Amino acid sequence: MNKAISPSQYQDGDGMSYSEKEALKQLPEASRWPKFSGTGEYDHMDLIDYIDTLFIDVPSIPDYCITARLNTAFKGHASIWYTEMKEIHGGRVKSSKSTVM
């Protein structure tokens, strides 16, 4: 029995489907994301609001496409914390759409 495969299910050598690649193209460059230093009372809110908006604007984007860019948004203490969490968790930081950190 031969099941039809949608174009979004095809993958090439990088393991990403074509629909994931298209969604990734819709994300702004990481350099344009708000920065988060881990200091200041509300320093994190701009970044969290921005990521929430990305999930609304690009609903097909997988979580890992967002988490892969987080370290470019983190600076100072936040960057150190994120790097340490990646090392502790074997290069992967767990994330969900409801909680960024």
Pair of tokens at residue 51: 């990521």
Residue 98, pLDDT score: 40
Residue 13, pLDDT score: 56
Quickly tell me which residue has 């409801």 as its tokens: 98
- Give me the residues of the chain with pLDDT under 50, please: 1-8, 96-101
Residue 6, pLDDT score: 46
- pTM for the complete prediction? 0.63
What are the domain boundaries of the chain?
Answer: 19-88
Residue 52, pLDDT score: 92
Measure the CA–CA gap between 87 and 73, rounded to whole angstroms.
18
Quickly tell me which residue has 């994120």 as its tokens: 82
Measure the CA–CA gap between 86 and 60, rounded to whole angstroms.
25
